[in-house]
Structure formats: structure tokens, C-alpha cells
């Protein structure tokens, strides 16, 4: 019977019921696998399958009817005890439910069952009923994908997982079978959750390979669900690779294949590919840019059929400590560097830095030629020129340093004036060209190949606004000997990798989560999978992968949030109360308008009561909405066991990651951004903090290091700590390195206390690493960590003890929207100070102030407290006569305290934070603004910057 001759409502009801039947069947099948003798479960599966068969037969849906009938027969045999539950039977029944679901979805979207391959499944079901050995059910693949896999089969020999990763090219985009953008977004969200579960499950299995138990079944189900979901939307590549992974795991479940390190590595590699594939889906257009995964599928098929596991070697096989990057440089160049008298490691670092900044400058100039008003790119240009200036000063290239400084000065003057920046581009282009020509001449004098300075493209994530990165995808060059500890593979190389020559070091992106590579920087992070970008790429279709920095999390962030229905019920009740109060206001207004028998006292009392009720409801509403937005930090923490595991394997250091407080909740918008800074801090703890095994043993420490990741509530904020039991940070060494690299002068170094010396780690371009590894050490990233946390209105503090370890503490607001603030008045203007940063308010007699090291101070309850005038810091007019009693707000920046003198202290208020906007830009000492009840705009002070301003003025 055709749908054309049937009431559409009947078909709609059938589709709804069929989906309900399948939702009942699948979980019961998985339970049945655990309890094969459970007859009640068999009945629970048999009944919906029987109903599905009957309804489809009535509607003339023959393909659904035949497949459901065959599956029903198997279930009937199992009920009667004529057959026993085996893994093979479960596999084929699950394959049948996948096919049924796909046909029902086709029926809903296309009006027909569609071309779903059911013949092999029916054949397998018939064989089982006949008592023959069950052939393996085939995956629901498109013919083109099947052909690709079959063609690749003869070429199994010589394939390694490393070559698989490097040969995943992009295919031709095609449309997915989905009914709307929301469906695809749900698919992506579920796929990401399942890949996280797969990663954590495989890591757990790696710890207990001899007792897999339910863990293998859980991992199998995740692969199976991914296969089913991808089949529903017609995502052939994902369907194919998950099917092969599922088949491989099935052999492990049955004990035919041992759980080895190689198997874990291979499956983790598959998870990486899955994440790359999912990132290629564009929900807005309903299309996907496929990756050619033929080689990866072939490796899995070989593992299934022959038991030969080609374990990946991309950063997972090698356990030896990484050699310094300088060792990989070509021999003639190393010889030349030796003749120069300069340290080879310094040369490598210099070449890495200048090649990165060269690319950044080219990209910034290219974008500014299109639109000279882009402030972000002007800042990029200034920072890159300043970095080149400092680097040349460190190397002793004085002429180049002076020229770079003069060029940076031109950019700075132009960006701080009203001048149209596009007018500066011709002269800047000439100056930059001259600068790099001069630099090339200096390198020639030293016998260093200057092409090494300009060959590597920019690591955009370090310095370039996010939109440039997404808009400039570039193909990967011939692969070098790379190791990838990160969980996200980069799937866009050249079609055929060339033989791997020794290559010089290339710069790493200065993002919180760089992926190391021996030849070319590639933005990478655990939360997203960005494509590499070249300095001046033409406009091209943007990659689906997000960019570095703040937008990295944005790419992977979910547009949905799971909410407990009780919170929604409470919200609905509050809305009801709100409507009642609104009606009460309306009645009071009508009563006043009538002018009849108006009792002012009575009206005032009613208004007061209604206002109090409204205040209570709005507070409750705000609190409930905030709770709805709260998500546990476990959603971020869950990715780090995999990261630490890979880094541990890569560096040869045995490290335990200990996570605490994963249930701590933060605003969703904060959680989505903190992933990258945490990645960078953990990488630094692994590389710079935890020592090598022999060093730890010599120091009397356990051979295995520890890294703690903990979260907890602290007042109205959340603290996240990253702590290691490594060698700690030596303040004296930090001063020496900072002087040597030109970050500070020797005179400035003398004035730094130990805490300030340790905070030099956040200076741009600073690195105390003795060798550059592909994990860290290039001096890029920590400044980005602080910037990202500052953008969240948070702060970063360091606590370290030499020989004992280091602890970084991130202090983050619970929400970015509403904060408690103390209102103050300075020079006739009102300002807001975040209450979290206020230790106390007090009154101090002016005569008690004394001079200490060039600034005012007072002894307050035994503590020497620095005092500074807010009017002086903000360059506001000060009163002609100083009052005898000063109003002082004591603020704290981390563990440091400062007293700021204000004219008046007002009340505490809850305020809504508003950004200053691009027009005002970054104003020192100001973090944002808020709008008061009378419509006036109040600026919000930044306690951290206020402290820095006070310190700099004192010095």
C-alpha cells in the first residue's frame, strides 16, 4: 500500500510508534547481552518487533516488514529456547534495528523507505535460523565508500597508522540525511559526548587490560551507537570506521583478541579520526566535508581479519624523552651556527620566533589592505614587530633591532591617533621589507640559511584574531617526524607525503593548546580541531574547525544545555507569580487614575508590598536562571586524562593525573573558555614541572610524578588549581633569563621580589626552558593564558617552592553577567569595585600616612598597607585640600593588598556587566561598565590593573 493512498496522519502515527518501538528494543537488547537468560527481556523485545512487523505490513512497507519479520523470528527462537543468545546474534539484531531506524527516518523525510541495504542482514538472519554459522553483518555504506574500502584492501602491506593520519584528504562535500539544523546539532552533541566517553573508557581499559569486563561492552556500545547515529543521517565515512572499530572490539569481547597496548593506541587513534569527521559537519547547511579514511579502514580490517594491529606511532609509541629540536637541524646549518659562536639552541629559538612573526606580519598586512580599520590586526602588527625587535636585541643584531623598533613606533603612533591606518600601509610595507632584508644579511654573515626564517607560516593562534584563522585554511606540507600527544588529529595533509628529511625547528602556536610539529606550526587544542593557516591566504571556504584562542572553545561549544525539569517547573511558577504582581500594579494604576476614594497611605502600602514581592521574585528568578546556566567542570576535566596519558607516553615520564572537585559548577560560558588555558598549564606542568625519572629518584622523590587538577568554590568565585610535584620555579633563574632575553633590565630585576620574578613567566615570548620540545618551551602561550583568564574577569596566581613543585591557581567568577559591587565616588564620578576584590573598607586619619619607598603607606592592624589615591591613578582632578579623614577601600589582588583612597563610600549593589566595546578599546584600570536604575553609566574598576598601576607609579 502506497502512502499516496493512505491518510498522512496514519503514516505520521506509524512513524512515531515505530520510533518508540525501536527505543524500547535497543536498550533491552544491550541488557539481554548482559543477562542472556532473562526471558522477560526477550518478551520486551519480541512484542515491539512484532508490532512493528504488523503495522508495516498493513501500510505496505515491504522492506521494513520483511526485516522486522526476520528479526522477530530470531527473537521467537530465543524465547522458546531453541537458540541461545550469542554475540553474533546480538550484532545482527542490532544491525537490523539500525536499518529499520534508517528506513523509518527515510519514510519521515522522503516519503519512502529509501535505498537501505538490508539484503546482507536478511541473509545473516536466515543463516542463523537455518543453524549455519553467521556471516558478519555488513555496515550500511554508500556504494562509493564500499568500493573505496575494497580497492584499498589489497594494499594492506606496509600501511601504518601514522601514514593513515597523514593521508586523510578532504573529499567532495555532500548532503546528510537530516530533518533540520536542530537534528544535526543534536547528532554532533551526542557524538562529542560519546567520543569523550570512548577516550575515558579506553584509558581506563589501558589500566586494567586483563579484567576488561563490562568496560569493553561499554566501549563497544559507544562505537555501536555512533555507527547507528551516523547511519541515520547518511554519514558514510563515520558509519564505516565505527563499524570496523565495533567489529574489532567484538573480537576482544569474545576473547579472540587480547587487549594490548597496540589495540588501545589503535582505538584511540580511531577516536581521533571520529572527532575530526564530526568536526566536518556543518549543521547550518546540512552538509559534510568528508575525509578520505580508506587507509584507516584498511588498518582496522586487517586487525579484524588477521589480528595484525599496526599501532599508531604519532606520539603514542615512543616513550623516550624528546630530543632538543636543534638536533633535527640539517648538518651543514649546524656547522655554520657553530662557527658563529652563538648557541645552537638560541639560533633555533630565534629562527622559530622570527619565522612565526614574519607570517603574522604578512597576514596582518594582507588583512589591513582589505580594511585598514581592523584594530585587532593593527595590534597583531605592533606585537609582532616588537617581538622581532626584542629577538634581534637578544641575538646582538643591533641595526635590525633599531629598525624594527622604529617601525613598531610608527605602528604605535598610528594606532593611537585618528589617522586612517590604510595610509600607513605603503611605507610600513617598505620598512618591513627592509627589516627582513637586513635580518637576512645578518644571518648570511653567520652562515645561517635565511630561508629557514621565512619558510614556516604563522602560528596564527598566538597572535591573530580568530576570524583570520578560520578563514585561511592551508594544506599541510610534507609531513615531518611528528609526535602528537593531543587527542585531536589534524586531517588535512598533502595527498602523498614525501620522504621525511631532517627539518629545522618551526615555531609553535602560542595558544593554550598547541599541537607540536617538527616542521610547521599547527593550531590545535583538545576542545576543537582547527585547520592550519598560512600568512596571507586568499578567501576560501572556512574550515568547520574553530580557531585558536577564545574562539577555540567556541567552535566546540554546545549550543544546548541540559536542564533539570524541576528547575523549569520552578521557573514557570515564578513567571506565574510575576504575572500576578504585574496585574496588581495594573489594578493600583487604575485605582489612582479613577481618582475616587484614593487613600494615599493605603496606595503607598500596596505599592511597597508589591515592590517587595517583585524584588523577591526577580531575585529568585535571577538565582534560578543562574543555576540553569551552571554546568559541572567535569565536562572540561574529562579530556585531560587522555592528554596526560599521551604526554606521558611521549615524554617518557610516568605521571598520574589526580582530579578533584569535578562536580564544581560554573557558568556555561566560562566553562567553554577555560579548556585551552588548562591544556597549556597541564602541558607546562608535564614538560617543565615534573622531572625525568632518574632526576626524581636522585632527589629522593617517587619515580612517578603527580599532577593535580582540582576545582572548588571560594567565596563568590571558583578556584581551579593545577599543581605538580616537580622541580618548582627558581625566582633567581627567572630574573637571569628575563635579563638575558631582554624582557627586563638588570635594574628592574633588582626591584622584583620573588613573587613578581615568578610572574615573569607571563611575559610575552618568555621561556625558561633549556631545550625546546614539541610539547612546550618556545615562550609562547602563558601570556595568552593570563589574557584569556583576564577576559573572563578572573586572575592567575603562582605559588612555587624550588624542589617541591608549583601550583597555578585560576580564580574565576561564577558568572560573567551579574556581580556584587561596592559603589564609590571619586572626583564627582561614581565607580563600581567588584566586591570579590574588596577586603574591607575603613576610615584612616591622613596624619597617620608615612612614606615608604616612594609611596604612601599606613600601618593597619600590624600590617603595612600601601595607600594610593584613586583620583591620581585615574588622572582625575584632586581636591585642593586633602580631608583629615580618608575613606579607604582595601582591595586584594591575589595575596597582595592595597588601600585606595576615594571621596565617598556608597552602598553595595548588584550590577550587570557590559563590555566597553571596540570604540573605547582596552582602558587601563577599567574592566567594563554598568547601567544604573536612573540610566547613568558607571565604570567598573579592574582591581588587578589598579594594583599594577599603583605599583608602576611607585617605581
Q: Within 10 Å of residue 816's Cβ, how many Cβ atoms?
A: 19
Residue-level pLDDT at 431: 85
User: What SS3 state is found at 661?
Assistant: coil
How many Å apart are CA 251 and CA 913, to the nearest integer? 56
User: Which grid coordinates are listed for 160?
Assistant: 601504518
Residue 27 near residue 94, CB atoms below 8 Å? no
Residue 884: HSE in the Cβ half-sphere, 13 Å Cα cutoff: 0
Which segment, 192-196, 598-602, 695-699, is predicted with the most confidence on average?
A: 695-699
DSSP string, 621-635: HHHHHHHHHEEETHH
314-351 pLDDT, tens digit each:
433 333 333 333 333 333 333 333 444 566 767 877 88
Q: Within 10 Å of residue 796's Cβ, how many Cβ atoms?
A: 24
Residues near 804 by beta carbon (within 8 Å), at least 6 away in sequence = 725, 728
Q: Within 10 Å of residue 259's Cβ, how many Cβ atoms?
A: 21
Better-scored residue on pLDDT, 442 or 463: 442
Residue 720 near residue 839, CB atoms below 8 Å? no
Residues near 260 by beta carbon (within 8 Å), at least 6 away in sequence = 209, 309
Element (H, E) at 417: none
Residue-level pLDDT at 723: 94
CA distance readout (Å), 96 to 99, 116, 123, 558, 632? 5, 11, 11, 31, 37
**Which letter, b or e, does each residue of 621-641 get, where b requires 16 or more Cβ atoms within 10 Å of its Cβ?**
beebbeebbbbbbbbbbbbbb
Phi, psi of 498 (to 5 degrees): -85, 170
Better-scored residue on pLDDT, 643 or 527: 643
Q: What percent of the chain has pLDDT over 70?
A: 76
Residues near 694 by beta carbon (within 8 Å), at least 6 away in sequence = none
Residues near 747 by beta carbon (within 8 Å), at least 6 away in sequence = none
Residues near 884 by beta carbon (within 8 Å), at least 6 away in sequence = 845, 846, 847
Better-scored residue on pLDDT, 538 or 892: 892
Residue-level pLDDT at 809: 92
What's the Rg (C-alpha) of the chain? 32
How many Å apart are CA 525 and CA 477, to the nearest integer? 20
Residue-level pLDDT at 77: 86
Q: Where does the pLDDT of residue 301 fall: very low under 50, low under 70, confident under 90, or very high at 90 and above?
A: confident
Residue-level pLDDT at 706: 93
Lowest mean pLDDT among 115-119, 531-535, 861-865: 531-535
Residue-level pLDDT at 389: 86
Task: Delineate the domains of the chain, giving CATH numbers in brackets.
Answer: 8-130 (1.20.120.160), 174-306 (1.20.120.160), 345-452 (1.20.120.160), 631-768+780-813 (3.30.565.10), 818-953 (2.40.50.180)
User: 182 pLDDT exceeds 90?
Assistant: no
Residue-level pLDDT at 658: 92
β-bridge mates for residue 825, sequence order = 830, 904
Element (H, E) at 779: none
The closest alpha carbon to 938, from 788, 840, 824, 814, belongs to 824
Residue 523 near residue 514, CB atoms below 8 Å? yes
The strand pair at 705-714 and 655-660 is best described as parallel
| pTM for the predicted model, two decimal places | 0.47
94-114 pLDDT, tens digit each:
888 888 988 888 888 887 888
How many Å apart are CA 672 and CA 633, to the nearest integer? 9
User: Which grid coordinates are listed for 536?
Assistant: 596571507
Better-scored residue on pLDDT, 803 or 559: 803
Phi, psi of 941 (to 5 degrees): -80, 150
For residue 689, what is the DSSP state?
I
Burial class of 671 by CB neighbour count within 10 A (0 to 12, 13 to 18, 19+)? buried
Residue-level pLDDT at 590: 87
707-745 pLDDT, tens digit each:
999 999 887 788 999 999 999 999 888 888 888 888 888
Query: Reading across the β-sheet that carries 850-852, which strands appear in turn?
Result: 838-845, 885-893, 896-902, 863-869, 855-860, 850-852
The strand pair at 926-931 and 717-724 is best described as unpaired
Q: How far apart are the first and last CA of the chain?
A: 89
CA 834 to chain centre: 28
Amino acid at each position: 500500500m502506497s502512502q499516496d493512498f493512505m491518510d498522512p496522519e496514519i503514516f505520521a502515527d506509524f512513524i512515531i510508534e515505530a520510533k518508540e518501538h525501536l527505543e524500547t528494543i535497543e536498550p533491552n537488547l544491550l541488557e539481554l547481552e548482559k543477562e542472556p537468560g532473562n526471558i522477560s527481556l526477550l518478551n520486551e523485545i519480541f512484542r515491539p518487533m512484532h508490532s512493528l512487523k504488523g503495522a508495516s505490513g498493513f501500510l505496505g512497507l515491504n522492506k521494513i516488514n520483511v526485516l522486522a519479520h526476520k528479526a522477530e523470528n530470531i527473537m521467537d527462537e530465543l524465547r522458546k529456547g531453541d537458540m541461545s543468545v550469542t554475540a553474533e546474534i546480538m550484532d545482527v539484531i542490532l544491525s537490523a534495528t539500525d536499518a529499520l531506524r534508517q528506513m523509518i527516518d527515510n519514510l519521515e523525510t522522503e516519503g519512502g523507505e529509501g535505498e537501505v541495504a538490508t539484503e546482507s542482514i536478511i541473509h545473516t538472519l536466515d543463516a542463523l535460523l537455518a543453524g549455519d554459522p553467521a556471516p558478519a553483518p555488513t555496515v550500511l555504506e554508500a556504494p562509493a565508500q564500499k568500493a573505496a574500502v575494497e580497492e584499498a584492501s589489497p594494499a594492506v602491506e606496509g600501511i601504518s597508522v601514522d601514514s593513515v593520519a597523514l593521508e586523510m584528504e578532504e573529499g567532495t562535500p555532500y548532503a546528510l540525511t537530516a530533518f533540520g539544523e536542530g537534528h544535526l546539532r543534536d547528532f554532533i552533541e551526542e557524538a562529542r559526548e560519546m567520543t569523550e566517553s570512548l577516550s575515558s573508557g579506553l584509558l581506563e581499559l589501558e589500566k586494567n587490560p586483563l579484567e576488561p569486563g563490562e568496560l569493553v561492552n561499554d566501549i563497544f556500545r559507544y562505537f555501536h551507537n555512533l555507527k547507528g547515529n551516523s547511519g541515520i543521517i547518511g554519514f558514510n565515512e563515520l558509519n564505516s570506521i565505527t563499524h570496523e572499530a565495533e567489529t574489532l572490539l567484538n573480537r576482544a569481547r569474545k576473547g579472540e583478541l587480547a587487549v594490548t597496548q597496540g589495540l588501545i593506541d589503535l582505538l584511540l587513534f580511531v577516536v581521533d579520526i571520529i572527532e575530526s569527521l564530526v568536526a566536518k559537519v556543518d549543521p547550518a547547511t546540512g552538509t559534510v566535508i568528508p575525509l578520505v579514511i580508506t587507509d584507516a579502514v584498511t588498518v582496522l580490517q586487517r586487525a579484524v581479519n588477521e589480528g595484525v594491529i599496526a599501532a599508531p606511532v604519532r606520539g603514542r609509541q615512543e616513550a623516550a624523552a624528546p630530543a632538543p629540536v636543534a638536533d633535527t637541524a640539517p648538518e651543514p646549518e649546524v656547522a655554520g651556527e657553530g662557527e658563529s659562536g652563538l648557541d645552537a639552541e638560541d639560533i633555533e629559538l630565534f629562527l622559530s620566533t622570527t619565522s612565526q612573526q614574519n607570517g603574522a606580519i604578512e597576514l596582518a598586512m594582507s588583512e589591513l589592505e582589505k580594511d585598514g580599520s581592523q584594530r585587532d590586526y593593527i595590534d597583531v602588527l605592533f606585537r609582532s614587530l616588537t617581538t622581532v625587535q626584542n629577538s634581534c636585541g637578544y641575538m646582538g643584531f643591533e641595526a635590525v633591532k633599531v629598525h624594527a623598533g622604529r617601525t613598531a613606533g610608527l605602528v604605535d603612533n598610528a594606532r593611537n591617533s585618528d589617522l586612517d591606518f590604510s595610509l600607513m600601509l605603503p611605507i610600513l610595507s617598505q620598512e618591513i621589507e627592509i627589516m627582513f632584508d637586513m635580518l637576512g644579511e645578518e644571518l648570511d654573515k653567520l652562515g645561517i640559511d635565511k630561508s629557514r626564517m621565512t619558510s614556516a607560516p604563522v602560528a596564527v593562534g598566538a597572535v591573530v584574531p580568530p576570524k583570520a584563522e578560520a578563514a585561511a585554511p592551508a594544506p599541510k606540507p610534507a609531513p615531518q617526524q611528528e609526535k602528537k600527544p593531543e587527542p585531536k588529529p589534524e586531517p588535512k595533509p598533502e595527498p602523498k607525503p614525501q620522504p621525511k628529511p631532517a627539518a629545522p625547528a618551526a615555531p609553535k602556536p602560542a595558544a593554550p593548546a598547541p599541537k607540536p610539529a617538527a616542521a610547521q606550526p599547527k593550531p590545535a587544542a583538545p576542545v576543537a580541531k582547527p585547520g592550519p593557516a598560512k600568512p596571507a591566504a586568499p578567501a576560501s571556504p572556512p574550515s568547520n574547525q574553530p580557531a585558536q584562542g577564545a574562539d577555540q572553545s567556541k567552535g566546540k561549544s554546545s549550543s544546548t544545555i541540559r536542564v533539570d525539569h524541576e528547575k523549569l517547573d520552578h521557573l514557570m511558577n515564578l513567571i506565574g507569580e510575576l504575572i500576578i504582581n504585574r496585574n496588581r500594579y495594573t489594578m493600583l494604576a487604575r485605582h489612582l487614575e479613577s481618582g475616587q476614594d484614593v487613600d494615599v497611605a493605603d496606595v503607598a502600602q500596596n505599592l511597597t508590598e508589591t515592590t517587595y514581592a517583585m524584588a523577591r521574585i526577580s531575585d529568585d528568578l535571577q538565582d534560578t536562571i543562574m543555576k540553569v546556566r551552571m554546568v559541572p567542570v567535569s565536562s572540561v576535566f574529562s579530556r585531560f586524562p587522555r592528554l596526560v596519558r599521551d604526554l606521558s607516553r611521549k615524554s617518557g615520564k610516568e605521571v598520574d593525573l589526580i582530579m578533584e572537585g569535578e562536580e564544581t559548577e560554573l557558568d556555561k560560558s566560562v566553562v567553554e573558555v577555560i579548556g585551552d588555558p588548562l591544556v597549556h598549564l597541564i602541558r607546562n606542568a608535564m614538560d617543565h614541572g615534573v622531572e625525568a625519572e632518574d632526576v626524581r629518584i636522585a632527589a629522593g622523590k617517587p619515580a612517578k610524578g603527580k599532577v593535580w587538577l582540582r576545582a572548588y568554590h571560594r567565596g563568590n568565585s571558583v578556584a581551579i588549581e593545577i599543581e605538580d610535584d616537580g622541580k618548582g620555579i627558581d625566582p633567581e633563574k627567572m630574573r637571569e633569563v628575563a635579563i638575558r632575553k631582554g624582557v627586563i633590565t638588570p635594574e628592574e630585576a633588582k626591584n622584583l621580589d620573588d613573587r613578581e620574578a615568578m610572574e615573569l613567566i607571563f611575559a610575552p615570548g618568555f621561556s625558561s626552558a633549556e631545550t625546546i620540545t614539541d610539547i612546550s618551551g618556545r615562550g609562547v602561550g602563558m601570556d595568552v593564558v593570563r589574557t584569556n583568564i583576564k577576559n573572563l574577569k578572573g586572575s592567575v596566581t603562582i605559588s612555587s617552592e624550588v624542589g617541591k613543585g608549583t601550583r597555578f591557581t585560576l580564580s574565576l567568577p561564577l558568572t560573567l553577567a551579574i556581580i556584587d559591587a561596592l559603589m564609590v565616588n571619586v572626583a564627582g564620578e561614581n565607580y563600581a569595585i567588584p566586591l570579590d576584590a574588596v577586603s574591607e573598607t575603613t576610615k584612616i586619619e591622613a596624619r597617620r600616612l608615612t612614606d615608604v619607598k616612594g609611596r604612601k603607606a599606613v600601618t593597619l592592624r600590624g600590617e603595612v598597607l600601601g595607600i594610593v589615591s584613586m583620583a591620581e591613578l585615574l588622572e582625575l582632578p584632586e581636591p585642593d585640600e586633602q580631608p583629615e579623614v580618608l575613606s579607604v577601600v582595601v582591595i586584594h589582588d591575589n595575596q597582595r593588598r592595597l588601600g585606595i583612597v576615594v571621596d565617598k563610600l556608597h552602598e553595595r549593589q548588584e550590577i550587570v556587566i557590559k563590555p566597553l566595546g571596540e570604540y573605547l578599546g582596552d582602558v587601563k584600570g577599567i574592566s567594563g561598565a554598568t547601567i544604573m536604575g536612573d540610566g547613568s553609566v558607571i565604570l567598573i574598576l579592574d582591581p588587578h590593573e589598579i594594583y599594577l598601576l599603583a605599583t608602576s607609579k611607585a617605581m
